[in-house]
A and B are shown apart, each in its own frame.
Chain A
Amino acid sequence: MCLSCFLVGQCGNQIGSVLWPLILKEYGLLQQESDKKQPFKKVQEDAIHSFFYQVPEKTISCSLDFKKSNLKARALLIDMEESVVQRFQTGPLRDLFDNACSLTNYPGSGNNWAVGYFTHGGEQKSIIKEMLRSAAEKCDRLHCFLQVFSLGGGTGSGLGSAILPLLEEQFPKVDRVAVCVHPGVNNDVVTSPYNIAFSMKKLVEYASCVFPLDNKAILDICDRLGAPAELKTWSPYKNINSVIAKMLLALTSGARFPGTLNLDISDIATNMVPFYRLNFLSSSLFPIKLPKANGFRIMNRESEQIFRVCAKENQLLRIDPMKGRLFGATLLSRSKAPLSDLRQNIERYFCSILFLLILYSALRFSLSPHTVIRTHGPYTWPHCKVFANIGSVSIIH
């Protein structure tokens, strides 16, 4: 199963620069010198083709020498400026990305959606089409397109929403998942309301499901978890990006690794989108561990985690799912807890909360209120149980 990952615009590429090391780490490929070399597990080996490809095939070794093992990421790096993409090509992961898979241009979009959508979208159309084709040809079965971009700027929102119709035209049956970051209340670009509004229209029409993420909400989570002691290592955007990257990993884990119940992205897209155009899903994550943060590590009981994951403060959007109207919720759990425990806890917490919501819901659905899915990830984070709760909420503030 292959996932093709698009990183569009500056924000998308910056998330990508955090995401790829995490992916490598999850597959056990990125190991520090000091770590004891761990053997490559079978689960990881089977799953590696979801985010990577090899031409020609070779045995994969646990090292950073991607040139030797011919390992390439299934990523398309698209930006209308050079600076961020350049960092990929000169950084330690430079051999991971194919040069043919990155697209840069000059000048940028100047925070203008129209420049991104019409000017760049028009000019680069044939090049992007060609990139898409060559990326798709390397997949033995293409599961979904994962597109990461921000809505505030020009390139991400404009060009990102220009690519979506292109994807639908070329691959009508492959799911298109858009993960888009919007600035929230910390509006730093004056044109961002326009940019968000214009790209929302395209997202509603062309994406299978959209995961909007609020910068401010994630920043609040990071603040709560505690900034590192030294100010010079404090980098809010890095923390935000790592939270987003973890959410992406949790979201795709079902498609990549085997579990007791397999949940793919297409399952999420079917279950969480009851009506055409109501495809904005909110997400939450618990527990989150920030890199280099010296907070306490609190181990929670399973039952509490399920409760906490739908709490307001762990949402990646500034909404309260307890007060909204839910069409459905998906719970992705990466732990070894037996089914009976998990179900019991869900019945205890979810039902009491969700049934209440459904009674208030205008449509009075008696659709099944929740979806329970467990996936076992690889155990590279042995202490970290990641729960991602993805609920579709009809009203987004």
Chain B
Amino acid sequence: MGNKHLRARSILVDTEDKVISRLKFLDSEPNAWSFSAENVVINNRGGCGNNWAVGYTECGPESCVNILEKIRKETEKCDNIMYFLTLGSTGGGTGSGFSSYIIEAIRSEYSHKVLMASFVLPYSDGDVNTQNLNTIFTLSKCYSVCDAIVLFNNSSIHKQLNSCKKFGYFDMNRFISEQLSCFLQPFSNFSSISGVYDILMPLISHPQYKLLALMANSSECHTKFNAISKWETLIRNLNFKLRKLDLPNVSRIRDTRLSNQYLEKCIANLLVCRGADSILTESVAKKHFGSSDYYPLWTPKSERFSHLYHNRKFCDYNEYALLVSNNRLICKDLNNILERGWCSYVHNAYIHHYKKYSFEQEDMINAFSKVENILKCYSSL
């Protein structure tokens, strides 16, 4: 690469070309980055029609060989592959069905690599009518093959962005990408050959618990009045997010010892701080997340909480704190999805769309029971 033209190590997959055709593929400027036009797989059938079964039983088998070939070529360019990361949504048909097939294929091809899937859950009050069924089928397929699943929730992102201004999908995507890149970029107090696996391992120490939630808190550049205890505020706010949400006035309880009964149980927490002076945050972080009340007894003490930092400024933020957590809060979303999913299943609504693509009742029941199992594990923490 003489002219330092950067290519993203990514493979773009879709069932229609309208979105991909608007991405940038070639930039003549030096030092610019672009997607590689060779790494595009479009199974052009005009979308999956919000139907998981179309993606899983039709598109998947059709383009799987092609995609694996692209992945092979891309992996050959790497000297050391750390992990595979998939991005998608669980509401529609392509992101859910197609990607669950691909994830399974990647697992069978690269059985020893870390496979991390990240999914965006649709709005809980409804994006599309089949979203709950699609989400359940996706989770049931991916849960057994992925090492970790990072879940984002459109509703909660919407809520968090709501305070600022008018926003569109671009801002929501940015919000998600910032969190992911804060999590996955290098740290200054951590260097290891096996890279991300050592960071992930404490978080996903138990094979039954692999749903990760990311929570971010940041202070933006343009705020002029920098209080000295800025970091502490950010971290304390993150800590409050781990409290049970349905209890009133939880955020007013300042003393951590008093409020311990309101804590949500976590398997493990990881706090990432990026920005100036983030090296000094360790003691504050320990104070807030080190308490053993958070964690079930069977987790080893050393693995419960880790703290990583980097002094470089992240994006446009002076301070950016991110909490990666494997905790019980996900129960609420899962329960919601399952409840609605069952509701449409028992009424037989939308089922005929899936049956048309040979996804039978038995498979559906299997999927439901798998997700019920996940929910049970988490709620029994």
Write the residues of chain A forming the contact surface with B, with a CB cutoff of 8 angstroms.
1, 46, 140-141, 143, 175, 255, 257-258, 260-262, 264, 266-267, 269-276, 327-328, 338-341, 343, 347, 351, 363, 365-372
Contacts and interface: CB of A to CB of B under 8 A. Distances in A.
Interface of B: 16, 18-19, 21-22, 44-51, 92-93, 125-132, 158, 161-162, 165-169, 172, 339-340, 343-344, 347-350, 352-353
Given A275-B348, A275-B352, A365-B347, A340 B167 contact: yes
A370 B16 contact: no
A338 B170 CA distance: 10
Contacts of B45: 141
Contact of A258 (B19, B48, B340): B19
Given A257-B18, A262-B19, A347-B125, 5 more contacts: A258-B21, A273-B353, A365-B343, A365-B344, A368-B127
Give the dominant DSSP class at B's interface: loop
Contacts of B349: 274-275, 327, 365, 367
Given A141-B45, A340-B166, A276 B352 contact: yes
Given A260-B168, A260-B169, A367-B343, A266 B352 contact: no
A347 B162 CA distance: 14
19 contacts: A1-B46, A141-B45, A255-B46, A262-B18, A266-B48, A266-B51, A267-B92, A270-B128, A272-B129, A274-B347, A275-B352, A328-B129, A338-B167, A339-B168, A341-B166, A367-B340, A368-B131, A371-B127, A371-B129
A392 B122 CA distance: 22
A340 B168 contact: yes
B349 to A, nearest CB: 4
Contacts of A255: 46
A264 B46 contact: yes
Nearest to B354: A270
A12 B163 CA distance: 50
Contact of A266 (B46, B125, B132): B46
A271 B50 contact: yes
Q: Which of B44, B125, B169 has the most A CB atoms < 10 Å from its CB?
A: B125
A366 B343 contact: yes
B339 A366 contact: yes
A255 B18 CA distance: 10
Contacts of B350: 270, 274
A269 B47 CA distance: 12
B343 A368 contact: no
Contacts of B166: 338, 340-341
A338 B49 CA distance: 24
**Most chain B beta carbons < 10 A, residue from A46, A271, A370:** A271
B342 to A, nearest CB: 10
Nearest to A347: B125
Which 5 A-B residue pairs are closest in the complex by CB-CB distance? A368-B126, A266-B49, A274-B349, A258-B18, A143-B46
A364 to B, nearest CB: 8
Contact of B129 (A257, A261, A266, A274): A274
Contact of A1 (B16, B93, B165, B347): B16
A276 B349 CA distance: 9
Contacts of B167: 338-340
Contacts of A258: 18-19, 21-22
A270 B130 contact: yes
A267 B47 CA distance: 8
A367 B47 contact: no
B291 to A, nearest CB: 37
A262 B51 contact: no
Contacts of B22: 258
Given A141-B46, A270-B51, A339-B167, A367 B19 contact: no
A372 to B, nearest CB: 7
Contacts of B162: 340
A371 B128 contact: yes
Contacts of B50: 266-267, 270-271
Nearest to A175: B49
A347 to B, nearest CB: 8
A46 B21 contact: yes
Contact of B49 (A1, A260, A270, A341): A270
Contacts of A46: 18, 21
Contacts of B125: 347, 351, 368-369
Nearest to A255: B46
Contacts of B132: 368
A141 B126 contact: no
Contacts of B172: 339
B160 to A, nearest CB: 12
Nearest to A46: B21
Contacts of A341: 166
B16 to A, nearest CB: 7
Contacts of B128: 267, 270-271, 368, 371
A363 B344 CA distance: 10
A351 B124 CA distance: 13
A84 B165 CA distance: 54
B44 A140 contact: yes
Contact of B47 (A264, A339, A343, A363): A264
B158 A343 contact: yes
A351 B129 CA distance: 15
A219 B167 CA distance: 39
